[in-house]
Amino acid sequence: MRLRLPILLPLIASCALPICARIASAQTAPQTAVKDNPLWVANHEPFRIADNLYYVGGADLATYLITTPHGLILINSNLESSVSQIRGNVEKLGFHWKDVKILLISHAHIDHTAGSAEILKETGAKFDVMDGDVPVIESGGKADFHYGTLPEWGYPVAQVNRVLHDGDIVSLGGVTLHAIKTPGHTKGTTTWTMQVKDQGKLLNVVIVGSPNVNAGYRIKDDPNYPAQAADYKHTFEVLEALPCDLFLGAHGAYFGMDAKYPRIQPGATNPFIDPDGYRAYVQERKAKFEQELGAP
């Protein structure tokens, strides 16, 4: 595999949508017209986050590229229309699309996995998915406990190559990622952790899958997901215990990408190193869950 050196990228995002609008989009997914949500279809300039970890996603839908001597790993395929954006972003950084060897996702909703079948077709990559989300992926969204009956939330069926379980390791070319099952948002929502070096320091990376309670969720009495409330509680216990230096997530709004991206400067402190922001985010999401759980 030939990897070219990444080009120097401008520090101004290609989409300057208001941060409050992005947070609203990320925290409560819309029920209709999901494929046309402007926050989800707009692209973002690709950039290096730290070491061998890059951002190649959209204005709000996050996709991550991890480079190794033996190929590339992608996390999240986003919408079907996102595939060309992601491919273009990977190539703009100087890497080869055909070198993608493993595709991973944060969870099996349309905005994070609808492009998976096309990426697998174009690259020949292997698809590793957490156990609770495998039936949803392999049914094109129809097995989802909440959105399965809504045609607008469906997407192309993809074949899973490896079924992951909580704590499993995904490795390639000396790079190791840990699959942490953080269910509730979906039955197989996955938070990814890894380590990178930044200015000589070893950092713990956390890519949050999603702890959000979407509009319409019946977290106390959904017959299609009776363990949902217990799963959310477990997820918050796990997230609170994870060591985090570098805070990322399935949506840019989770970790304040809009505010942090312009602060990338040579020699400056990496703006994505934000353990306090991570803890505050988890506590805010936990409080929101508890509010929903206590609502009549």
DSSP string, the chain: ---PPPPP--SS-S----HHHHHHHHHS--SS-GGG-HHHH-B---EEEETTEEE--BSSB--EEEEETTEEEEE--BSTTHHHHHHHHHHHTT--GGGEEEEE-S-SSHHHHTTHHHHHHHH--EEEEEGGGHHHHTTTTTT-TTTTT-GGG-------SEEE-TT-EEEETTEEEEEEE--SSSTT-EEEEEEEEETTEEEEEEEE------TT--TTT-TT-TTHHHHHHHHHHHHHHS--SEEEESBGGGGTHHHHGGG--TTSPPTTB-HHHHHHHHHHHHHHHHHHHH--
* Residue-range domains of the chain with CATH: 19-294 (3.60.15.10)
pLDDT tens profile 65-121 = 999 999 999 999 999 999 999 999 999 999 999 999 999 999 999 999 999 999 999
Going by pLDDT thresholds of 50, 70 and 90, the confidence category of residue 225 is very high
pLDDT at position 204 = 98
pLDDT at position 33 = 59
Mean per-residue pLDDT for 122-145? Answer: 98
pLDDT at position 50 = 97
User: Average per-residue pLDDT in the chain?
Assistant: 90
Mean per-residue pLDDT for 249-267? Answer: 96
pLDDT tens profile 151-195 = 999 999 999 999 999 999 999 999 999 999 999 999 999 999 999
Pairwise pLDDT comparison (20 vs 144), residue with the higher score: 144
Residue 5 has pLDDT above 50, yes or no: no
The answer to which of 30-34, 268-272, 273-277 has the lowest mean pLDDT is 30-34
Pairwise pLDDT comparison (171 vs 33), residue with the higher score: 171
The answer to which of 6-10, 175-179, 259-263 has the lowest mean pLDDT is 6-10
pLDDT at position 131 = 98
Q: Report the percentage of the chain scoring pLDDT > 70.
A: 89
pLDDT at position 36 = 78
Going by pLDDT thresholds of 50, 70 and 90, the confidence category of residue 8 is very low
CB-based contacts of 108, cutoff 8 Å, min separation 6: 129, 133, 136, 137, 141, 144, 186, 188
Residue 216 has pLDDT above 60, yes or no: yes
Closest to 134 in 3D by CA, of 171, 176, 168: 168
Q: What pTM value is reported for the model?
A: 0.90
